[in-house]
Structure 1
């Protein structure tokens, strides 16, 4: 990881997951700012209205959330990404081990990876590759 401070958006409706992933990422680097969103709409709002200088280096996205799920978020992000100064890699993180979900991820260019919960050190390495 580079020395400059990087922002990571965690979009997940599970507060315990936010606590765990924030703790794990901070152990890897004190140069990370983890911004938590309990719903996808809030993250999209921040992406579309926040300053371009504060775009995240990475988005960690839950697949199954209330109201707007991870796939809905990606659809909305597609409409937004042309207004952003750079493309933001997205890693989908879910407890689903459904083969259809994994195949859908492979056909979604915005998604760099799919990791399953619970997190462990190997899955954290996948996240670190994109920071």
Structure 2
């Protein structure tokens, strides 16, 4: 299961990757410090390489998480059913939860910092994509 981590905060990227590894994720994890970099990489590798999970920060400079999601709309058919996006945010705003429903590729919102419960939630929602470690 290829996982993308998109966050402009290097500490958040590091911690999220460590939690995923601690929870038994052994597949490739690609960290991106900008949404633009992630979008370029994703679009240049479709349809052969599709991440099973994207953990996406909302508050980033230049291109924020919402703009990234808008930019993914042309790729929705190639990603549907193959890629689950989780917004990883420190925001508790109900407006974010409501807005996330406008994006079919968004599977849920996980509050920072990513922890064992967040990883288990991803496994529950995308079970065949994220099997529990044996």
TM-score interval, normalised by the smaller of the two chains:
0.7 to 0.9
Q: Structure 1 length normalisation: TM-score?
A: 0.85
Q: More deviation in 55-64 or 74-83?
A: 74-83
The superposition leaves residues 14-59 of structure 1 with CA deviations (integer Å, 9 ceiling, x where unpaired) of 1111111111111222532110000011111111112533321111
Q: How is 1:1-131 mapped onto 2 (pairs within 5 angstroms)? A: 6-50=1-45, 52-83=47-78, 87-129=82-124, 130=126, 131=130
CA distance in 2, matches of 1:81, 1:93: 20
Structure 1 residues 27 and 75, CA, compared in 2 at 3 Å: closer, same or farther? same
Q: Which runs of 5+ in 1 are unaligned?
A: 1-5
Q: Structure 2 length normalisation: TM-score?
A: 0.84
Structure 1 residues 128 and 84, CA, compared in 2 at 3 Å: closer, same or farther? closer
What's the Cα RMSD here? 1.9
CA distance in 2, matches of 1:120, 1:100: 23
CA distance in 1, matches of 2:80, 2:114: 30
- How far residue 121 of structure 1 moved from its aligned partner, in angstroms, is 1.8
CA distance in 2, matches of 1:51, 1:10: 17
The total of aligned residue pairs comes to: 126
- How far residue 102 of structure 1 moved from its aligned partner, in angstroms, is 1.3
- How far residue 82 of structure 1 moved from its aligned partner, in angstroms, is 3.5
Structure 1 residues 69 and 63, CA, compared in 2 at 3 Å: closer, same or farther? same
